[in-house]
Amino acid sequence: MSNAWRSSRATVCNFLLLFLSAGGAIPVHATDTLEEIKTRGTLLWGADAEGGAPYVYPDPQKPDQLVGFEHDLAEAIAARLGVKAQMVQNQWDQLVPALERRNFDIILNGLELTPDNQQHIAMSQPYFIYAQQIVTRKESEGLSQLEDLKGKAVGVLSGSVAKALLEKSGGADLRIYPGNVESLRDLKAKRIEAAVMDLPIAIYYAQPDAALKFSGVSFAPGYYGIGIRKEDKTLLVAVNQAIKELAEDQTLERIYRKYNVWDERQVSLKDYKAQAVAEKASISTIREWPKYLPLLLHGAIKTVEISVLSMAVAVIVGLIVVLVRLYGLPPLQWLAKAYVEVIRGTPLLIQLFLIYYGLPEIGIRLNAFCAAILGLGLNYAASEAENYRAGIQAIPHGQTEAALALGMSRWQSLHHVVLPQALRLVIPPVTNDFIAMFKDSSIVSVITMVELTKVYGMLATSTYDYIGLGLMTAGIYFALSYPASLFANWLERKLRYDRR
């Protein structure tokens, strides 16, 4: 599937945990997990409830309770094992590493039965047959199969089967989204022509929407299975047995009908035959750096573009804001102050969402690149305005008086006397912000920008080499920010006027 929605910050956080765990922080469990579950009395199942309908999501009527067909399935399986089910929230694209870290017992969250997944963990018998569905706007014509999407802007979910399918068929202008809700929004905003997603998601989110339609029949069926650690053989047997029984007594059908995801395909669930999966050697990206480094560098170029342009916006807008705040007419002063306080007091993430997904509702449609620069730039402008304000207020009042006494206007004294001194004072904090911008810019991946951290995330989840890629990525970030810091030092030295 995945209905998961990701924030790159949380991703980085998870990676950090992985680094730590690589140092041997995780004890090796010798006990049988099935025994452990029974002793504990709960089955811990990992899933991502954020944007997770209809799989697992907070009940719109009672938001403190979870619902969804996988939620009901987890309860049913737990009941067969004689225990209670408890969901453990985890980012979708990090479910497999989290299972290996023993954060929970099983993954039950639209995990596809693919050789890739079976490399690292064991997979149960399938419990659901999904397929891909093309969704378009109501008025669109002739986009009913994969071939029709060539040359069109198509939204897919990061790390999804749809993305892999479209990459294989080629020719489409792929836009990668952190969640399907976002891709459907952009579809309606006409930023993309079609979205391809797992059928249950399309049923829940796209079918009720009058502006959208299913285009053509669903295709490329596949299986969802439950992920279990390879060593937990008894648990695998027990889970397989539970699934088999739930299918036979039609509990599965009842659950799926309840959530409107039942179709005739599900009847053939029992025909599934497990296939042996060939072991693939694990990948060391550091050893194969000529293959991976260029991909990362490509992302790094985007990061530099975004950071530099955003900072340019921030430095200029910040100056305007501070001048209005300190010297403008009273109502404008108030407005400038409000701008700084509101921007500082709200998360950058939400500001980006409002610019990218909110503005189209009032007719302003920016592409992801412009939205990213505007969002980061306007956000940092508030911080630059404060830097400037501190700098300007540090200049003694006597400087202004001397300029005025010489006949300069208010603006001339500002322009020739106060600002040149204040700007020197603010070089260190502004540089600091610039370096922070390199790193903060990773957040724009939430509005489909593919920059350095995003490339890292995508490569890491497919190669599982978090450490090698992480070191390379960190190295690139450092190589970007250190020269900026050196340049600032040089500039500061060059502009000093208090040499004696």
DSSP 318-349: HHHHHHHHHHS-HHHHHHHHHHHHHHHTS-HH
Instruction: Determine which helix (DSSP H) or strand (DSSP E) holds 224, and give its type and residue range.
Output: strand 212-228
Q: How many residues bind another protein (CB under 8 A)?
A: 23
**Burial class (CB within 10 angstroms; exposed 0-12, middle 13-18, buried 19+) of 124:** buried
Eight-class DSSP state of 269: G
Specify the residue, 405 or 479, whose C-beta has the smaller distance to another protein.
405
Eight-class DSSP state of 112: B
Specify the residue, 181 or 404, whose C-beta has the smaller distance to another protein.
404
Best CA proximity match to 220, nearest among 276, 278, 173, 160: 160
How far is 308 from 431, CA to CA, in rounded Å?
12
Q: How far is the CB of 407 from another protein (least distance, A)?
A: 4
Interface with another protein, residue 332, by CB under 8 A: no
Interface with another protein, residue 331, by CB under 8 A: no
Q: Binding segment for another protein among 22-30, 129-137, 286-294, 415-423 (CB under 8 A)?
A: 415-423
Interface with another protein, residue 394, by CB under 8 A: no
- List 23, 210, 398, 493, residue binding another protein (CB under 8 A): 398
Q: How far is the CB of 332 from another protein (least distance, A)?
A: 16
- List 409, 462, 475, 487, residue binding another protein (CB under 8 A): 409
The structure tokens 């998961």 sit at 4
- List 12, 404, 436, 471, residue binding another protein (CB under 8 A): 404
Interface with another protein, residue 499, by CB under 8 A: yes
Q: Binding segment for another protein among 25-33, 57-65, 113-121, 414-422 (CB under 8 A)?
A: 414-422
Specify the residue, 87 or 417, whose C-beta has the smaller distance to another protein.
417
Q: Could you tell me which residues come within 8 angstroms of residue 7 by beta carbon, excluding any fewer than 6 positions away?
A: 178, 349, 443, 446
Q: Binding segment for another protein among 253-261, 284-292, 337-345, 408-416 (CB under 8 A)?
A: 408-416
Cβ 313 vs Cβ 377: under 8 Å: yes
Interface with another protein, residue 399, by CB under 8 A: yes
Specify the residue, 9 or 424, whose C-beta has the smaller distance to another protein.
424
- List 67, 192, 403, 444, residue binding another protein (CB under 8 A): 403
Q: How many residues does this entry show for the chain?
A: 500
Q: How far is the CB of 413 from another protein (least distance, A)?
A: 9
Best CA proximity match to 375, nearest among 390, 354, 394: 354
Specify the residue, 223 or 388, whose C-beta has the smaller distance to another protein.
388
- List 320, 402, 479, 486, residue binding another protein (CB under 8 A): 402
How far is 214 from 208, CA to CA, in rounded Å?
11
Would you call 215 helix, strand, or coil by DSSP? strand
Q: At what angle do helices 69-81 and 251-258 cross, to 10 degrees?
A: 150
Interface with another protein, residue 408, by CB under 8 A: yes
Interface with another protein, residue 407, by CB under 8 A: yes
Looking only at the bridges linking them, the beta strands covering 42-47 and 106-107 are parallel
- List 234, 412, 462, 489, residue binding another protein (CB under 8 A): 412
Specify the residue, 426 or 460, whose C-beta has the smaller distance to another protein.
426
What character string, x for contact with another protein (CB under 8 A) and - otherwise, covers 457-496?
--------------------------------------x-
Edge to edge, the sheet with strand 84-89 lists: 84-89, 42-47, 106-107, 212-228, 122-137, 194-198, 153-157, 173-177
Best CA proximity match to 174, nearest among 191, 185, 188: 191
Specify the residue, 421 or 432, whose C-beta has the smaller distance to another protein.
421
Q: Binding segment for another protein among 54-62, 184-192, 196-204, 412-420 (CB under 8 A)?
A: 412-420
How far is 109 from 129, CA to CA, in rounded Å?
13
- List 424, 427, 429, 491, residue binding another protein (CB under 8 A): 424
Interface with another protein, residue 401, by CB under 8 A: yes
Residues that bind another protein (CB under 8 A): 396, 398-399, 401-409, 412, 416-417, 420-421, 424, 495, 497-500
